[in-house]
Copies of this chain bind each other. A is one copy, B any other.
Amino acid sequence: MNSVTSQLSMSLDGFVAGPHQSAEDPLGKGGERLHEWAFGTDTWRAQQGLDGGVHSVDAEVFEEVTQGVGAYIMGRNMFGGGHGPWDETWKGWWGEDPPYHAPVFVLTHQARDPLPMRGGTTFHFVTDGINSALEQARTAAGDTDVAIAGGAQAVQQYLTAGLLDELYLHIVPVLLGAGERLLQNVGDPTLEPVKVTASPAATHVKYRVTYR
A193 touching B184, Cβ below 8 Å: no
User: A14 contacts the other chain (Cβ, under 8 Å)?
Assistant: yes
Known: A184-B177, A207-B173. A196 touches B193 (CB 8 A): no
A200-B192 in contact (CB<8A): yes
Closest to A173 in B: B191
Of the candidates B13, B173, B187, B193, which one forms a contact with A173 in the assembled complex, judged by CB atoms under 8 Å apart?
Answer: B193
How many copies of the shown chain assemble into the complex? 2
- Is A71 interfacial (CB 8 A cutoff)? no
Which residue of chain B has the shortest Cβ distance to A201 in the bound complex?
A: B193
Q: Is A171 touching B171 in the complex (CB atoms < 8 A)?
A: yes
Asked if A161 is at the interface (CB within 8 A of a chain B CB), the reply is no
Q: A193's contact among B186, B189, B198, by CB below 8 Å, is which?
A: B198
Which of B186, B192, B199, B203 contacts A175 (CB under 8 A)? B186
Q: Mask for A174-206, Cβ within 8 A of B = 1, else 0?
A: 110100000111111101110010111001010
B173 near A183 with CB under 8 A, answer no
A163 within 8 A of B: no
Residue of B nearest to A208 (CB): B173
Among A162-178, those with CB < 8 Å from B are 169, 171, 173-175, 177
Q: Is A12 interfacial (CB-CB < 8 Å)?
A: yes
A14 contacts across to B, CB distance below 8 A:
13-14, 183
A185 to B192: give the CA distance in the assembly, Å: 30
Q: Which of A47-105 contact B (CB under 8 A)?
A: none
Q: Are B191 and A175 in contact (CB under 8 A)?
A: yes
Partner of A205, one of B186, B188, B191, B203: B203
* Bound Cα distance from A142 to B104, whole angstroms: 60
CB distance from A161 to the nearest CB of B (A): 15
CB distance from A178 to the nearest CB of B (A): 9
Given the known interface contacts A193-B173, A193-B200, the answer about A184 and B12 at a Cβ–Cβ threshold of 8 Å is: no
Nearest chain-B residue to A14 (Cβ)? B14
**Across the interface, do A196 and B188 meet the contact criterion of CB distance under 8 Å?**
no
Q: A53 to chain B: closest CB distance in Å? A: 21
Known A-B contacts A14-B13, A183-B12, A183-B13; A188 and B200 likewise in contact (beta carbons under 8 Å): no
